[in-house]
Structures are given as C-alpha cells and as structure tokens.
Chains A and B, each alone.
Chain A
C-alpha cells in the first residue's frame, strides 16, 4: 500500500518509494488533490536534504510518534532519530504492508 509518511501509525514501518514529485509520486499528482500536490512539490533543496539525511528510496523508516497538535513527525531511520515537519513528511511516499 502506498501512503504518505504522515498516514503511518505510531510504530509502523514503511519503505520509501519516492521523496520527490517525479516518477511514482506523479501518479499521485493525478489524484483529486492535484493542485495541492503540485503546489506542495518539494523544493529541490529540501529533497536533497532528506536524501543526505538518509531518506532515500528503498530505505526503511519507522514512525515513532508525532508531536501533539499536528506537529512534526519523529522517525527512526538508519539508526538515528529525525524530526520532520508535517508538510514535508506528507510528501515522502512509503510502501507499507498492513
């Protein structure tokens, strides 16, 4: 199942399929929320930053929890903890088996 990272439950693990609005996520762009997706297309800079921190396609990522009041996500990736703003986390697509 392909979902944005924000849709994962606490403690759930997924495998990243895309972190940018190319390839697979473009199919998502065809969705009803089309305008929103394109407007939110991740800027190159943030995209690279995610990559550099180890959030590359094929990486396992576990959502630990999210900060209250719709705050950022706390995720565990490659043995370390990262805080990722909710907007950006929504643009990381993961594959998850439920």
Chain B
C-alpha cells in the first residue's frame, strides 16, 4: 500500500453499533457482498479523508475469535493474514466486561488496535461512567468515546486512527496475562513454536493450542506433530489442576482479566430513573403483556405489508399493462409481439410486482426489528412453540412472514445461525400456505365445497408442516442448536443504515430471481404459442387423471402455477371456460387439486430465493421433495375421498 492508502477493519460484538459507524464513515461508497465461498456478509467501503484514502471493512459481529462459527473464522483469518493497518474495536460501553473479553482476544492477535467506546450515552443512562484515561493506560491503546447514531466522536476517532497508523502516537498494547499454571505452559509452547514458521503470532498460537482450536491445531500438526502432542499433554495437566476442560479454563481466566479491567475503569451508580429501554424490555417480555403486544405488532406489520403490497402491486401492474397497446403497435400482435410481451414483459411485471410492493417493505421492517432489538424478544417468546418443530425461537419470523409470501420467508432464514437451521427453516417456510395459496383455498374449496373444508385444509397443512419439520429435524445431519442469544438493550434504529441494508438485499434478490422469473414465463409462453400445452397436459395425465383423479386440463393450470400460484385458479377458469367450478369439478376433485397446489412446488420466485440463499442443489432438492410430497398427499386424499 502507498503511504496514504490504508486499510482499517471494524471489529466487535453484535449490536454494538459497528455497522452504524461503518455507514457514518463510508456513506454511499460501499459494497456489500459475501466472503468468497462463504455465506457470511462482507461489507467494504472507502473514505477519502484529509488526503488519505481509507478502505474500511466491516467484520461480522462476534463474541469470540474461535472457529465455532463461520463469522468468527472469517474475521480472525482476515485480521491475522490480511493484516489491516489498523483494527478499530467497537465496544459497547454499557456492557464493558463482555466487550473487553473480545478486545483481549484482539490484543492477543497482536494487531494494531484502537478502541471506539460506543454508546456512551446509553451507558450514562444506565449510570455507568468510564475513565477513558485509565482505560488507555491499562489497555495501552487509544480509546475514543463515540455515539455512532449521532456521529459524535467519529471524526476524532478517525484522526486518532490515522495518528496511530502514521506512528505519530506510540502504542504499547497490553499483553493479557493468565494464571501462573497457564502462563508457564504458554511459555513452554512458545519456545517449541519458535522453531517453526507460522503466519500467526506465536503466543497466540500457544494460547489457541491450549484452547483446543481445531484450525490452529491442524496447521501446527502439518509442521510438527510433537508440539500438538505436547499441547495435548498440557491440556490434560491443566484439566487435572482446575477440574474443568482446558478451553473452559482459558476462557474463564480471560473473562477474569476482562472483569478486573472493567472494574478498574468503570464506576456504576444506580441511575435516578429506570431507562425507557429497560421499561420497554420488561413490558415486551412480560408473561401477561408480552404475547398480546407481539401479536398486535406482528399482525400490524403483516396487514401493513400486505395492504401496502396489494395496493402498490395493483397500481404497478395497471401501469405496466397500460403500456401494452404501445407495445403492440411497435411489435405487432404477431408471434414476436406475443412472445416478447407474454414472455419477457409479463415476467418482468410479475417480478416487479412482487419485489417492490412486498419484499422491499419486508426487508425494511425486518431490519428495523433486528436493529431495535425487538426481534430477539420475539424469539424469546416464541422459542417454545418453535421447538415443537425442531427449530428455535428466531425461526418464528420467517415462518410467520411466509403466510404472506414465501419469498421474504426464505430470505428471512438468514437470521438463523447455522446452515442446518437455515435449511430446516427454509423447508418449513416453503410449505406454509402463502397469500396466493389462500386465495385458491378460499376461492375454490371455500366457495364451492364448504368453509369447513377450507379450514380443514389449513389444519392438514399445519399438521404436515409439524410432522415434516420434525422428520427433517431428525434426518438432517448436524447438531441442533439451542437458543442462546443476547437481548441487547432496545435502541433507536439508525434509519440510514436500515435503508441501506434493505437496498442491498433487494438488489441481490432482483439479480437472482428476475432472470429465473423471465425465463420461466418465456418458456411457458413458447409452449403456449407452439400449441404444446395440450400435449403436455396429456403426457401428465397418468399423474393428474389416473393418480390424482383430476380433469386433464388441470395439468396446464398446475404448470402455470409454478410462475405464481394464483395463476392456477385463473388458468383453470380460462381452460374450463367458466368460473363456476361446481359445474366442471366434483368437490373431491377441488379438494385434491387445492391440496396439490398448496404443497406441490415453491413458485419460481421462491425457488429463486432458495437458490440465492442455499445454492441450486439444495433448492432443487426442496423443490423435488415438495412435488413428490404433493403427489403423495393428493393421491392419498383422492382415494380416501372416493371411499368416503
């Protein structure tokens, strides 16, 4: 790097305001993507400041630098091997001890460090005052107080950062010390480790070996099996001495150091009045008020998103279809015109009328919930119910959203921690009847059979979800994760940060799903123009007619349903030439048909979302599984209904 071009990484716990600082610094000059080959978000941005060009990287929010999650591994690899010029550790001043635990690990990595003591306003409200001077003395690195949300202190933080990088300010970072038994062994290991060439600091590697870190162990093993054996022996000794596993002992002592430092530098007085955020917490997790509040909030969001969605969706599609005459006059109503309009344009319209009206507000609200802290309270309240289907509390959000539309449901699976849980949740989510499916349930079975049967279908669907959720939970390899999460204090979400996250996610969805939607709609249009639909329906007839006992034309309706589920009903009316389905289908046929539509495939936009989140293979697996499931359930229902 040239001498006025720097790289600075932001690191810290989750919910400390790291992303807000990142946004304050880089504004519009940022790029959000994934770490190569990982599903971990990578946010980069550039800032021009006093003639310097600074590249910022916002590392994921984590509590530790072990390798138990992808986020931790990514962060540690970046700091250790890419060696940024400076790491800014964003620390939540109101939870100093836990945050310092992470700071100590950064210090162990021997990276140039600066501490941004964030949310000092919240700390003050909790009655916490921090002696900055003393903190700097003890930690040996500059500490700058900030309030990210208002931008207070950020300028000063930058100036200090540059001083540190330019070596105008000398720093002597603290080397955290452990108890004597551990220190002796770290020293012994360091002597051994000095003989081999490693990309990490030796003391750090020694500590990690005692912590039984599998990645570090693997790397050392490749060079010297002797050292790994020595470390294993030492771990055994320490376990004997302390009566706990060695990683626990090390973590314990590290926390002890964090505790000593925080006691030294902070004074806690009882605040004069309970902060509003605490009152809110008490009410929203209250055993009496918690659920009603959650129900109202969730319903309000639900109604809000879908009434907004319905309205804008109709408005958009009216406007789009308004340009059809113009289109026709240019391309004619011949085959080309029909393909371009019916295939490409209707595909685009279909995509836009989902993306803008539904997905945009969904993301916005999801991020507001997450940023403010309400999401973790909902997870707290819903944990028990979600456990019944093998998931934990956080999964409630995507599942609930899916009753509106499966797409945001699938994308919402991101909030789950492990890949296993994301996949499980996605599987459950795609089985939930969305608003379009509800139209069919009510419009066909509800209107022509009975409301009782419509209700029964919902119940059957829920039972299927619970049963399959449990089966998938048992069948999917990997450990189930239980809920352990921090309920950080409520705070005002930073709207600019939320808006930016929303925008990046939306753009990602458009790039992924649009080509799929357009291709799908074009293929079906081509088949229609080439008069292939009837032959295809005939080919499908062993399934539709023989197995499911449905009229042949339903095959075509089912194909259209892949694009959007409500199209099945519209196509059915068109194909039969009547919207009075009682004349053309028996009640049993309607029930079977609706059952199949409910389960048979995630619509093309949902498949797009699945591919984006999980890759093509898993998306295909879920799709195929659900087609088979629909056929199985449909076939059984047909036979049961004819017996009855």
Binds B, one of A1-9, A29-37, A50-58: A50-58
Verify A87–B482 contact, CB threshold 8 A: yes
Output the residue of A20, A49, A52 with the most chain B CB within 10 A: A52
Counting CB contacts under 8 A, is B383 at the interface?
A: yes
Verify B484–A83 contact, CB threshold 8 A: yes
A27–B203 alpha-carbon span in the complex (Å): 36
- Closest beta carbon of chain A to B262's beta carbon, Å: 8
Verify B483–A84 contact, CB threshold 8 A: yes
Output the residue of A43, A81, A87 with the most chain B CB within 10 A: A81
Verify A82–B380 contact, CB threshold 8 A: no
15 contacts between A and B (CB under 8 A): A45-B481, A48-B64, A56-B252, A57-B244, A67-B383, A68-B381, A72-B384, A74-B285, A74-B380, A78-B97, A78-B98, A80-B98, A82-B485, A85-B387, A87-B482
> Can you list the 4 inter-chain pairs with the closest CB atoms, starting with the nearest?
A85-B482, A85-B483, A52-B64, A56-B252
Given contacts A68-B287, A68-B290, A83-B483, contact A24 B243 (CB under 8 A): yes
A59–B97 alpha-carbon span in the complex (Å): 12
Counting CB contacts under 8 A, is B101 at the interface?
A: yes
Counting CB contacts under 8 A, is A71 at the interface?
A: yes
Q: Add 20 more A-B contacts to A23-B243, A85-B482, A86-B384 (CB < 8 A).
A: A19-B248, A46-B481, A51-B251, A51-B252, A52-B66, A54-B255, A57-B252, A67-B290, A67-B380, A68-B287, A68-B381, A71-B380, A71-B384, A74-B487, A80-B98, A80-B486, A80-B488, A83-B380, A83-B383, A83-B483
Residue of A nearest to B64 (CB): A52
Counting CB contacts under 8 A, is A97 at the interface?
A: no
Contact of B484 among A68, A79, A82 (CB under 8 A): A82
Total inter-chain residue pairs, C-beta < 8 Å: 130
Given contacts A48-B247, A85-B483, contact A65 B287 (CB under 8 A): yes
Interface residues of B in 378-425 (CB under 8 A from A): 379-381, 383-385, 387, 392-393
Output the residue of A50, A51, A87 with the most chain B CB within 10 A: A51
A87–B386 alpha-carbon span in the complex (Å): 14
Verify B484–A49 contact, CB threshold 8 A: yes
A72–B386 alpha-carbon span in the complex (Å): 12
Verify B101–A54 contact, CB threshold 8 A: yes
By secondary structure, the B interface counts as helix
For the complex, count residues of A whose C-beta is within 8 A of B: 40
Counting CB contacts under 8 A, is A94 at the interface?
A: no
A23–B259 alpha-carbon span in the complex (Å): 25
Given contacts A78-B97, A83-B376, A83-B383, contact A56 B248 (CB under 8 A): yes
Counting CB contacts under 8 A, is B63 at the interface?
A: yes
A35–B414 alpha-carbon span in the complex (Å): 35
The interface residues of chain B lying within 8 Å CB-to-CB of A68 are 287, 290-291, 381
A82–B487 alpha-carbon span in the complex (Å): 5
The interface residues of chain B lying within 8 Å CB-to-CB of A47 are 248
Output the residue of A57, A83, A84 with the most chain B CB within 10 A: A83
The interface residues of chain B lying within 8 Å CB-to-CB of A18 are 244
Counting CB contacts under 8 A, is B95 at the interface?
A: yes
Output the residue of A46, A59, A70, A80 with the most chain B CB within 10 A: A80
Output the residue of A18, A24, A54 with the most chain B CB within 10 A: A54
Interface residues of B in 441-493 (CB under 8 A from A): 479, 481-489
Interface residues of B in 272-308 (CB under 8 A from A): 281, 285, 287, 290-291
- Closest beta carbon of chain B to A44's beta carbon, Å: 9
Verify A53–B68 contact, CB threshold 8 A: no
- Closest beta carbon of chain A to B394's beta carbon, Å: 10
Verify B285–A65 contact, CB threshold 8 A: yes
Residue of B nearest to A48 (CB): B68
Counting CB contacts under 8 A, is B245 at the interface?
A: yes
Verify A85–B383 contact, CB threshold 8 A: yes
Counting CB contacts under 8 A, is B599 at the interface?
A: no
Given contacts A19-B248, A69-B384, contact A81 B487 (CB under 8 A): yes
The interface residues of chain A lying within 8 Å CB-to-CB of B483 are 72, 83-85, 88
Counting CB contacts under 8 A, is B164 at the interface?
A: no
A81–B280 alpha-carbon span in the complex (Å): 14
- Closest beta carbon of chain B to A23's beta carbon, Å: 5
Given contacts A51-B251, A52-B63, A52-B251, contact A80 B95 (CB under 8 A): yes
The interface residues of chain A lying within 8 Å CB-to-CB of B387 are 85
